[in-house]
Amino acid sequence: MNKTSDPAVLTALRQATAPLHERLDRLVDLDRSTSDHQAYRRLLSAMLSGIAPVEASLRGFDWVGAGLDAEVATWRAPLLRRDLEVLGEAPIQAPPDAPSPAPYPSRSAAFGALYVIEGAALGGQVIFRQARERLGITAEQGGAFHAAHGRPPVGESWRRFRNALETHCLDTEAAVQAAVRTFLDLEARLAPLLSPMSAAERA
Ligand code: HEM
C-alpha cells in the first residue's frame, strides 16, 4: 500500500487508532483463534456480535452518493451468519449488557466507523490464509467473511474507500472520534467471548 499518497484524514485515523488495533489484535490472538474449529467458530461469533451493531448504525447513510457500493456497510453480518451456519453453529450471543452504539451523528463520523470495519477486511485476508492452512477453511466452508467472498477484491475496495473518504469526509476530528469509539465498542463486545479467561471458563 502506498502510504505517501494517503489522504490526511486516513493518516489521522490510522495514527489515532493504531494502539487500539494492537489491542484488538492481541485479543483476537490469531494463533489461538485458529488452533481448532471451536476456537475459530468462537472468533466468528465474536466478530458477529461486534460488527453487526456497527453495520446497523451505518445503514442509514448514503454511501452510494459518496461513490461507494450499496452493500459497503451491510455485507459482513450476513456472511458471518452464513459461515457460522455452514460450520453448524448458532452464534454465541454477546452478553445483554454489552453497550449498544449510539447513532453516528454525522457523515464524517460514519466514515470514521466505516474505516474501522473496512480496514478489518485487510486483516481478514491474513486471518483467512491462516484459517485455510491450519483448519482447511475455504470461502465456501466457513471463510466467506474473512475472504470477503462475493465482494470486489479487498485492495480495490480499500482504494475506493480511501477516495471516498478523501472527498466526502470533511470533518477529521469527528471521524477520528467515531473511529476510536467504534474500536472501543468492538473491544467491549469481543472481549467477553475472546478473552483467555472466558475461553478457559467455557472449556
Ligand atoms: C475486529 C478486529 C479488527 C479490526 C476492527 C481491524 C481494523 C483494521 C483497520 C481499521 C485497518 C486499516 C489500517 C490502515 O491502514 O489505516 C486494519 C489493517 C490491518 N489489519 Fe486489522 N483489524 C482487526 C483485526 C486484525 C487481526 C486479528 C489482524 C491479524 C491478522 C489484523 C491485521 C491487519 C493487517 C495485516 C492490516 C493491513 C495493514 C497494512 O497493510 O498497512 N487485523 N485493520
Distance 98 CA to ligand 1 centre (A): 23
What does the pLDDT read at residue 92? Answer: 61
What is d(CA 94, CA 91) in angstroms, rounded to the nearest whole number? 9
Instruction: Verify whether ligand 1 is closer than 6 Å to residue 1 (CB atom).
Output: yes
Instruction: Verify whether ligand 1 is closer than 6 Å to residue 120 (CB atom).
Output: yes
Q: Where are the domains of the chain?
A: 7-202
Distance 39 CA to ligand 1 centre (A): 20
Q: For residue 84, what are the CA distances in angstroms to 26, 71, 104, 117, 137? A: 23, 20, 28, 19, 12
Instruction: Verify whether ligand 1 is closer than 6 Å to residue 32 (CB atom).
Output: no
Look-up of cell digits 477516495: 163
Instruction: Verify whether ligand 1 is closer than 6 Å to residue 131 (CB atom).
Output: no
pLDDT in tens, 71-127: 999 999 999 999 999 998 776 665 555 556 678 999 999 999 999 999 999 999 999
What does the pLDDT read at residue 99? Answer: 57
What does the pLDDT read at residue 94? Answer: 55
For the CA of 186, the nearest atom of ligand 1: 1
What does the pLDDT read at residue 103? Answer: 86
Task: Using alpha carbons, select from 111, 114, 99, 117 the residue that is nearest to residue 173.
Answer: 111
Mutational test site, ligand 1, from 20, 24, 190, max ligand atoms within 8 Å of CB: 24
For 160, residues 6+ apart whose C-beta sits below 8 A from its C-beta are 67, 68, 152
CATH numeric code, 7-202: 1.20.910.10
Task: Using alpha carbons, select from 153, 194, 176, 197 the residue that is nearest to residue 48.
Answer: 194
Instruction: Verify whether ligand 1 is closer than 6 Å to residue 186 (CB atom).
Output: yes
What does the pLDDT read at residue 74? Answer: 96
Neighbours of 136 (CB within 10 A): 11
Per DSSP, the residues of 2-66 read -GGG--HHHHHHHHHHHHHHHHHHHHH-HHHHTSSHHHHHHHHHHHHHHHHHHHHHHTTS-TGGG
* Residues 30-39 as b or e (16 or more Cβ within 10 Å = b): beebbeebeb
Residue identifier of the C-alpha nearest atom 25 of ligand 1:
123
What is d(CA 173, CA 196) in angstroms, rounded to the nearest whole number? 34
Residues of the chain with pLDDT under 50: 2, 203
Residue identifier of the C-alpha nearest atom 14 of ligand 1:
14
Residue identifier of the C-alpha nearest atom 33 of ligand 1:
123
Angle between helices 154-168 and 107-135 in degrees, nearest 10 = 170
What is d(CA 106, CA 89) in angstroms, rounded to the nearest whole number? 37
